Amino acid sequence: MRSKILFTLLFVSLNYFGFSQRPASHPNVDWNNNLEYSDEFNSGVLDENRWNKNPSDWGTWSWEPENASVIDTALALQMVQHTHIRNGENYYFTSGILRNEEPRTYGYYEARILATDKGQGTCPAFWLYSRGQPDPTEEGEAKYCEIDAIEIFQIPNQLSRLEMNLHTRILENGELVWKRPGQGFEALTRNTWVAPWDPRDEYHTYGVWNRPDSILWYVDGVQRGGKKNYYWHLPMHITVSLGLRTPYERYINGVRTIQPFPDSIPEPGFPTQMFTDYVRVWDTPAQLYIDRELYYDQEFSIYEDLEIDAIYFAGQNETILVDGWLGVTCNLQELDENGIVVNELTDLYPNAIGKESGKAKFSFDLTGLTPSSALPAGHTYAIRPVFRTSQNDGEDIYMEDEQFYPILLTETTSVNSLEAKEKIKIFSSNDGVNVQLSDLDESAQIFVTDLAGKQWYHNPSVFGDLLIDNGNFPTSGVYLISVKTDKLHRLEKVIIAR
């Protein structure tokens, strides 16, 4: 039966490769299929110049190169029951993995996978993860990034449960902190979908699109998940693997722990294999991203500098050009009622020149600018970033949704000024949101609203530190925390996982 399935899939795969070569999720796009990272496995042998099948073991997983091979033009990753000792501890299974040794960040990644006949206890996966990144120095920067395009968990009684999750380790309050599913960060990291079919019965297509602004997941061409991309901007390695799951391992105190299944009691169902018909990677368009929620129609004091962060992506193997905009440029413009620029401030980020992707930082001195309320009728302020990429012989890239974001300049409180950030600390935890005000010599008002502007919490007079516990938030999701004094105003987004 397996041979018949594989023969049929070979015919379909060859036709797909020859005539389509577009993602199952985006059949009408004209993205470049990057053959350096893609593999059809049609040669009958594994391309070991492209893939590493013998990386170092980790956790409960022991990778052995003999467990990765090509069978009938499909990648076969095998798991076998084999008692062995690693670091003085007994382990009972070895399995297969392939990892592309050339990392990349943004793009569309797709694989066509048939899960193991064994099912329970095995986890076919297609994912991306970073390795060996330096320790971050800036608050909120990532040390580690992982995007699971698919993990077919196949835990008891949930064989059709598909996990499309995120993992990261970021610098938070001076310490590296894990943020991942099962540890209080579900809204940030978890996507679960229960399929109406069994992934062991036939091949299905799993894809993920990593963008500077968002991460989108697809199963058989249909979007099944999406998250805002807060941290997943590091170079990552494309990986296909067959890992252990319950009941052969368990999380105990946050650590994967092997469970005993000695050879003296053979476990039925082994050896078992997952099959991957292909791995395909597409280069997706250049993009420039500024967090809309932080700037669009938000207020900023003319007595403080306006700080702006932008994430840029010139396209795979493309670079930011010096001509046109001298790197990444951000303009602060006064527009009249017809959208004509009547006044403009400009800041440059030349460090982006020659780079493929990164974060650009801009700062505007607002001293002397007229508050928005005193502008002529119909006039408004707007921020407009732009860069020129080398793709298409030079192309100007603006923000994808809108070329500019309107903002409001005021004479009142300072929003996210340096002093406000130093004296007002806001961060989420498993229990809720911590607001630290110990450095203030005055009381503060605290407001909690959702992204639609609905208020869920208000404390009119707070001295010292405060925990806004999870009971004040109706659901998991992103909320805005506003802390105001007579002089200072800090406004931050937090993610609540209930």
> What domains lie within the chain, and their CATH numbers?
2-283 (2.60.120.200), 287-412 (2.60.40.10), 418-496 (2.60.40.3080)
Under a CB-based contact definition with an 8 Å cutoff, are residues 452 and 459 in contact?
no
* Model confidence pLDDT, tens digit, residues 467-480: 999 989 988 888 88
Tokens of 475: 């659901």
Among 213-227, 266-280, 428-442, name the one with the lowest average pLDDT: 428-442
What pLDDT score was predicted for residue 413? Answer: 62
Torsion, Cα 320 137 435 383, to 10 degrees, reads -20
Cα angle 88-92-97, degrees, rounded to a multiple of 5: 100
Q: How many Cβ atoms from other residues are within 10 Å of residue 242's Cβ?
A: 28
Return the bridge partners of 98, or none.
240
| For residue 10, pLDDT beyond 80 | no
- Average model confidence (pLDDT) across the chain: 90
Q: Which residues are catalytic?
A: 146, 148, 151
Nearest to 427 by CA among 58, 173, 229, 181: 173
Quick: pLDDT tens for 36-50: 999 999 998 999 999
Cα 129 off chain centre by: 11
pLDDT tens for 264-278 read 677 889 999 999 999
Q: Does pLDDT of 167 surpass 80?
A: yes
What percentage of the chain has pLDDT greater than the value 90? Answer: 69
Per-residue pLDDT reduced to its tens digit, 75-119: 999 999 999 999 999 999 999 999 999 999 999 999 999 999 998
Among 180, 109, 174, CA closest to 136: 174
What are 339-349's pLDDT values in tens digits? 999 999 999 99
Q: Contact at 8 Å (CB) between 395 and 389? A: yes
User: Residue 42 contacts by C-beta under 8 Å, 6 or more apart in sequence?
Assistant: 10, 13, 14, 17, 73
What ranges in 237-307 are assigned the alpha helix state H? 292-295
Give Cβ neighbours of residue 459 (< 8 Å, ≥ 6 apart): 445, 446, 466
